[in-house]
Amino acid sequence: MQLKNTNTRYGLVAISLHWLVALTVIGLAILGLWMVDLSYYSPYYRSGPFWHKSIGLALFAVLVFRLLWRAFNPRPQHLPNHKRWEIGAAGVAHALLYLMLLVIVISGYLISTATGQGISFFGWFEVPALLTGLPQQADRAGLVHYWVAIAVLGLAALHALGALKHHFIDRDDTLRRMLGMRARQTTGKQE
């Protein structure tokens, strides 16, 4: 498999970034929902947030790289059976997913740095607190963080359902392309 996208297929980098972000977001959601119920006396009271914050910062770096990769590496052409409204809906969904993921990461940063303390990145270095002292910063950012994360999970579920619809009902190669599989239908010359 090639690293870069072609007119007909996604490349290894785009596919890897897609699934890395998807699995990371699901993992962070599970970890986040689990850790809000930890008591002060739980042995995970400090380690749960440490991992959530560190992985969240790593997700931010991956998101920036993914957006740059997408900007400089064109996507494959839409399949001929895709309807105009499907293409438009997919474009809006992708843009919203990227925007909401960035909002989640930024709001998480604002929660964690509200007291002026930086965030440890896996214990390797500290990301400084650049914006602190906003009125009710942690509480307001916490609400944004939670509700936008819930919205991302809902939109990601719709995204997955759309891919499954293309795979099982339309029987096209939309999902197969993001899994790195060869086309099941002949669409001309494969690259």
pLDDT tens, 14-36?
999 999 999 999 999 999 999 98
Rg over alpha carbons for the chain, rounded to the nearest Å, is: 19
DSSP annotation string for 79-106: PTT--HHHHHHHHHHHHHHHHHHHHHHH
C-alpha closest to that of 5 among 74, 65, 72, 64: 74
Low-confidence ranges of the chain (pLDDT < 70): 185-191
Distances (CA, A) of 20 to 16, 55, 78, 145, 165: 6, 12, 23, 20, 22
Contact partners, residue 188, CB within 8 Å, separation at least 6: 8
User: What local confidence, expressed as pLDDT, does residue 91 receive?
Assistant: 95
> Phi/psi of residue 179, each to 5°?
-95, 0
CATH number of 12-178: 1.20.950
| pTM of the model as a whole | 0.91
Distance from C-alpha of 77 to C-alpha of 7, rounded to nearest angstrom: 5
DSSP state of 102: H
C-alpha closest to that of 163 among 89, 102, 104: 89
